[in-house]
Structure 1
Amino acid sequence: MKSSIFNTFKPFFILAVLLLSISSSCSEGGSSTSEELTPSNLVVRTEIGGKTALNPNGDGSGIVNFMITANNATTYKISFGDGTTQDAISGTNSYSYKTAGTNNYVITVTAYNGSKSTSTSVTITVFVTTGTIWADEFNTNGAPNSSNWIYDLGAGGWGNNESQNYTNRADNVIVENGVLKIIAKKESYQGSNYTSARLLSRGKFSIKYGRIEFRAKLPANGGTWPALWMLGDNFSTAGWPACGEIDIMEHKGNELNRIHGTLHFPGRSGGNPDTTTVTPNTTATTEFHTYAIDWRADAIKFYIDDVLFKTFTNNSSLPFNQKFFLIINCAMGGSFGGAIDPNFVSSTFEVDYIRVFN
């Protein structure tokens, strides 16, 4: 009896299976066709934070909202015009510009649908107020603030045939009366004849673009080599000089009062850096001076006491478009510091403050 019923409805069963198969095939084919469509009608609208008739470039916050629409788009990539890019699954995004002043940015948006894409660009002008984003005023006596600094420790020349052994002892590094003091000494210590200190903000603070400002008084003795400088955050993976190095201030005790502003990068490293020297109006070893850079995507400008003495043209092929951390140290001798005065006993490198502005 069951066989008879099945035979009766068998043609209808086969027809139903065929229709279901055709329907499924059409559905899958339609989905595939949709995925292969190139996005179209890409539109980018921007809303600058605080924009008014009196403040056409915004209120200084640097915040810009982006509203992006496109037919058939599933994802977007946004290039904000300052070297930063962002992948987005939504057309509504916000970004905060950091470079102080009034600047133009070319925004490029690419809309994707699988392997298909389309792009468009718009230009905006954004005003950002100058503000302090990080600082150490060295106002608390004792060891430097561990929230801001770590130490390089040990000897070995540090790649420059230097003679010191870096420590974190109070004998070599201490904050007193509102000033950070790095004290280089002649003493026998763990196989070295000299000691000093090197502080780094690595892992604590780094920055991409901005104004970095130090106020410092330099040691005077022959063989001392104080420096205020920066290395790229990718130092441990890219190595030097691929990571880039920005020497905001270097000084040789053997060439008193001659300040070096220098950059190291592939092709311009070691004995062939891009460097400029300047002499301040008063002695750098008896008076405090302000050493600073204004670092942007298109240029790095070096200042002493707010007087420009070096302009370096930056571009996207160079390593100076990523985050860098800060370093303060005083080396002894080496390939740059030169011969150490045989009568040297000790000398102090003093830093009043470090301030970083957007």
Structure 2
Amino acid sequence: MSKYIFIICAIILVSCKNTSYKIADGYKYIQKDSINSKDWKLVWKDDFEAPTLDTTKWTKIPKNNADWGNYMSSDPRCFDISDGKIYLKGIVNKDTISDPRPYLTGGIYTKGKFAFQYGKVEIHAKLESAQGAWPAIWMLAEDKKYGRYPRNGEIDIMEHLNFDDIIYQTTHSYYTLELKQSSNPPHSKTSKFDKEAFNTFGLEWFPDKLVFTLNGKETFTYPRVKDVDKSQWPYNQPFYLLIDQQLEGSWVGKANPDDLPVQMIIDWVKVYQ
């Protein structure tokens, strides 16, 4: 019997040694600083095969006062799950008695349910176009280590405006927004994409750089820089995912109701460490 106990203990020790991350508070996946991009292992995913939203992983994003959140809603008309995909919609609100807002939009996030520090994330999705449409796949800090926004940073894996054939991939922080340091180093890039097809939007996140990808190819790298204000790199803490079909805002402009409904179709989400 002792021989078998020894074997089991050895397996456990080897497994722990090979695990490149630890889990804090039951849901925050913290990658070791010795991360090796060749050793990615899948740690979390959703392929939306279930008939309803998996609420152990996601929450519908509620209305908020941010520029992007004016029309966020849990209204079931803004969501559909079928054929292994989730459809996040921006719609004209035809029931302004129950809710006076002219539009409603659907979005989901992993806040309080899944967050990670360093690793690789990919989202396979298709974007529809409309005037005033602003679909986004992005990340925010789970614990707000450095205080209020924008001190904890923001990672925009993908943003799309109106009928564009480009996407924006961007970082925001106190360094870029308040100190106006948007070129040391450059914090944003646009890339052309096939808006008629599904694309894979991704990020590889290391202790010293953010590497943005499109369909598996590197598009833009935001490095950690020495000898600048420390607010340049708030990306050393767990972040959660947000995926939402936004409408309107100061950047994208007014929506055209004749173009609606519009939707972002998500096939799957995968996170590796």
TM range (shorter): 0.7 to 0.9
Structure with greater proportional strand content: 1
Q: Does 1:277 align with 2:190?
A: yes
**Where do 1:229-308 residues align within 5 Å?**
229-235=138-144, 238-254=147-163, 256-269=164-177, 274-280=187-193, 283-284=194-195, 286-308=196-218
Distance 1:100 1:301 in 2: 14
Q: 1:266 to 1:352 in 2, by over 3 A?
A: same
Q: 1:220 to 1:321 in 2, by over 3 A?
A: same
How far off its partner does 1:163 sit? 7.9
Name the SS for the 1:165 alignment partner: coil
Deviations 1:127-174 (A, max 9, x none): x732101111111123x110001123236xx322x5852222321012
Distance 2:165 2:119 in 1: 27
Q: 1:159 to 1:145 in 2, by over 3 A?
A: same
Distance 2:244 2:175 in 1: 25
**Equivalent of 1:350 in 259, 265, 268:** 265
How far off its partner does 1:197 sit? 1.5
Question: Contact between 2:202 and 2:213, CA under 8 Å: does it hold in 1?
Answer: yes
Q: 1:212 to 1:149 in 2, by over 3 A?
A: same
Q: Which runs of 5+ in 1 are unaligned?
A: 1-48, 51-57, 65-94, 103-127
Name the SS for the 2:250 alignment partner: helix
Q: 1:342 to 1:146 in 2, by over 3 A?
A: closer
**TM-score, normalised via structure 1 length:** 0.61
Deviations 1:266-285 (A, max 9, x none): 131389662110002xx22x
Distance 1:98 1:170 in 2: 41
Question: Contact between 2:145 and 2:237, CA under 8 Å: does it hold in 1?
Answer: no
* Greater relative CO, 1 or 2 (CA 8 Å, sep 6+): 2
Q: 1:339 to 1:169 in 2, by over 3 A?
A: closer
Matched residue, 1:33: none
Question: Contact between 1:166 and 1:196, CA under 8 Å: does it hold in 2?
Answer: yes
Code of the residue aligned with 1:227 in structure 2: it is: A
Name the SS for the 1:261 alignment partner: strand
Code of the residue aligned with 2:192 in structure 1: it is: T
Question: Contact between 1:61 and 1:129, CA under 8 Å: does it hold in 2?
Answer: no
Matched residue, 1:61: 18
Q: 1:137 to 1:96 in 2, by over 3 A?
A: closer
Matched residue, 2:93: 187
**Higher Cα radius of gyration:** 1
Distance 1:270 1:334 in 2: 20
Q: How many residues get paired?
A: 240
**Equivalent of 2:43 in 98, 119, 133:** 133
Code of the residue aligned with 2:127 in structure 1: it is: L
Q: Does 1:209 align with 2:115?
A: no
Distance 1:265 1:229 in 2: 14
Distance 1:185 1:59 in 2: 48
Matched residue, 2:243: 328
Matched residue, 1:159: 66
What percent identity do the matched residue pairs reach? Answer: 22
Q: Which runs of 5+ in 2 are unaligned?
A: 1-12, 22-29
Question: Contact between 2:92 and 2:257, CA under 8 Å: does it hold in 1?
Answer: no
Code of the residue aligned with 1:265 in structure 2: it is: S
Question: Contact between 1:61 and 1:96, CA under 8 Å: does it hold in 2?
Answer: no
How far off its partner does 1:62 sit? 4.8
Code of the residue aligned with 1:345 in structure 2: it is: L
Name the SS for the 1:145 alignment partner: coil
Q: 1:238 to 1:290 in 2, by over 3 A?
A: same
Name the SS for the 2:175 alignment partner: coil
Q: 1:271 to 1:149 in 2, by over 3 A?
A: farther
**TM-score, normalised via structure 2 length:** 0.79
Deviations 1:223-267 (A, max 9, x none): 10000000011249822111110000000014x221100001113
Deviations 1:68-106 (A, max 9, x none): xxxxxxxxxxxxxxxxxxxxxxxxxxx98376527xxxx
